[in-house]
Amino acid sequence: MTERVFNFGAGPAVLPEQVLEEVREHLMMLPGVGMSVLEISHRSEAFDEILMTAETNIRTLAGLSDDYHVLFLPGGATHQFAMVPMNLLSDGGIADYVVTGPWAKKAAKEAEKFGAVHIAATTEHERFMRIPTSVELDLTAGATYVHVTSNNTIAGTEWCEMPDVGDRPLVVDASSDIFSRPLDVARPGGSLIYAGAQKNLGPAGVTVVIGRDDLIFSNRSPSTLPTLMRYATSAENRSRYNTPPVFAIYVVSLVTSWLRDQGGLEAMDERNERKARKVYAQIDSSGFYHGTASTDSRSRMNVTFRLETPRLDARFVTAAADAGLAGLKGHRSVGGQRASIYNALPEEGVDALVSFMAEFECMNG
């Protein structure tokens, strides 16, 4: 390859070209610092500024009130599957989990190690191809929290709005759709939202956690809980109790600045709606492509579809890659194709995919 391809991979995923160029330009030496971002101390003034930029951008983009904390934690979203119940699920409490995909199922399974888990709804019997309706949710009265996965990366489904959980706190794994639309945090029981950075926020290595004061400082965890596993430790030490993933946070600061310059989350929402609509329209325009997810649950970030036979699916993926459209192979548990069209995937990439789909249909339909 001599040119950048359009990267439809599910994650780590495409980053804005402008961000990559800025990283390249400043990799040897941050302006005014004389050192690379890969070499600076996490206690330096330069990193103070980077951390402040990342946090301020996230606060502004999400419209967070002062009672919300923004934490930058290592370990990936999977680490949060454990940290959430470790910090919030006290003895005698019950956590409700809505199981809409393999990641949600893993989160629920991990929580069972720490306390009582109630599956408030699951669509596993339908291979996770849809999001449950509000009447299907069997929420526990007084549940300690309700956990949902806002976008299901594998099946390609997404909650079009967060469920009404009354005054229970809502915990959201937003790894694959954070900042693709305005963030819905305000609710009586508070919110805790976490997202591994490697899809919509930056490179792998950092997870952003946004949580209301009473959830971050819940004081429900046992005194034996390791220091670094406590949200309070990171909040009290501005995510620097130990050495944080400096480079990943640096890139998050650039990506969130880029998001701000693009017009913020309302603008991203509009653009993502338009991008997804184009791909789904192509899928629905003939009987050649079949959307995998239920129409009412379709994700705007991960568009899943298949062709008539696995052989044709394989041919599509190879021919697409030859045409500069990479990473379209679906997850092994679903098969077919998955076009991940995160914030940073340019609209021209979507247009190129749609043209390729029409051409491929013409040649093989």
Q: Which residue is nearest to ligand PMP (CB)?
A: 76
302 in contact with ligand PMP (CB under 6 A): no
11 in contact with ligand PMP (CB under 6 A): yes
Indicate which residue of 103, 275, 313, 329 is catalytic. Answer: 103
175 in contact with ligand PMP (CB under 6 A): yes
Position among 37, 77, 121, 246 found at the interface with ligand PMP (CB under 6 A): 77
78 in contact with ligand PMP (CB under 6 A): yes
With respect to ligand PMP, which residue has the nearer C-beta, 175 or 257?
Answer: 175
The letter for the amino acid at 235 is A
182 in contact with ligand PMP (CB under 6 A): no
Position among 97, 103, 356, 360 found at the interface with ligand PMP (CB under 6 A): 103
With respect to ligand PMP, which residue has the nearer C-beta, 176 or 337?
Answer: 176
Closest distance between ligand PMP and the C-beta of residue 306, in Å?
20
Indicate which residue of 96, 159, 173, 258 is catalytic. Answer: 173
Helix (H, G, I), strand (E, B) or coil at 303: strand
With respect to ligand PMP, which residue has the nearer C-beta, 175 or 191?
Answer: 175
Q: Measured between alpha carbons, how far is 210 from 62 in angstroms, rounded to an integer?
A: 10
176 in contact with ligand PMP (CB under 6 A): yes
Quote the radius of gyration of the chain (alpha carbons, Å).
21
Q: Which stretch binds ligand PMP (CB under 6 A): 70-78, 90-98, 133-141, 161-169?
A: 70-78
Helix (H, G, I), strand (E, B) or coil at 214: helix
Residue for token pair 């696995």: 310
With respect to ligand PMP, which residue has the nearer C-beta, 68 or 194?
Answer: 194
Closest distance between ligand PMP and the C-beta of residue 348, in Å?
25
Half-sphere exposure of 237 (CA within 13 A, CB side): 17
3 state SS for 224-285: CCCHHHCHHHHHHCCCCCCCCCHHHHHHHHHHHHHHHHCCHHHHHHHHHHHHHHHHHHHHHC
The four Cα atoms 302, 103, 177, 307 give a dihedral, to 10 degrees, of 10
Question: Do the Cβ atoms of 304 and 293 come closer than 8 Å?
Answer: yes
With respect to ligand PMP, which residue has the nearer C-beta, 9 or 189?
Answer: 9
For 21, the enclosing helix (H) or strand (E) is: helix 17-26
Closest distance between ligand PMP and the C-beta of residue 70, in Å?
18
Q: Measured between alpha carbons, how far is 276 from 274 in angstroms, rounded to an integer?
A: 6
Q: Which stretch binds ligand PMP (CB under 6 A): 48-56, 74-82, 83-91, 228-236?
A: 74-82
Q: Which stretch binds ligand PMP (CB under 6 A): 71-79, 208-216, 227-235, 258-266?
A: 71-79
Beta carbons within 8 Å of 90's beta carbon, 6+ residues apart: 115, 144, 220, 221
Q: Measured between alpha carbons, how far is 122 from 239 in angstroms, rounded to an integer?
A: 34
Query: Per DSSP, what are the bridge partners of residue 97?
Result: 119, 147
Closest distance between ligand PMP and the C-beta of residue 355, in Å?
28
Position among 153, 256, 272, 340 found at the interface with ligand PMP (CB under 6 A): 153
Position among 149, 157, 257, 337 found at the interface with ligand PMP (CB under 6 A): 149
200 in contact with ligand PMP (CB under 6 A): no
Q: Measured between alpha carbons, how far is 30 from 15 in angstroms, rounded to an integer?
A: 20
Closest distance between ligand PMP and the C-beta of residue 246, in Å?
18
299 in contact with ligand PMP (CB under 6 A): no
Q: Which two tokens stand for residue 76?
A: 């990936």
Indicate which residue of 96, 159, 177, 199 is catalytic. Answer: 199
Half-sphere exposure of 220 (CA within 13 A, CB side): 20
Active-site residue 199, yes or no? yes
205 in contact with ligand PMP (CB under 6 A): no
Q: Measured between alpha carbons, how far is 360 from 365 in angstroms, rounded to an integer?
A: 8
- Residues annotated as part of the active site: 103, 173, 199
Binding residues for ligand PMP (CB under 6 A): 11, 76-78, 103, 149, 153, 173, 175-176, 196
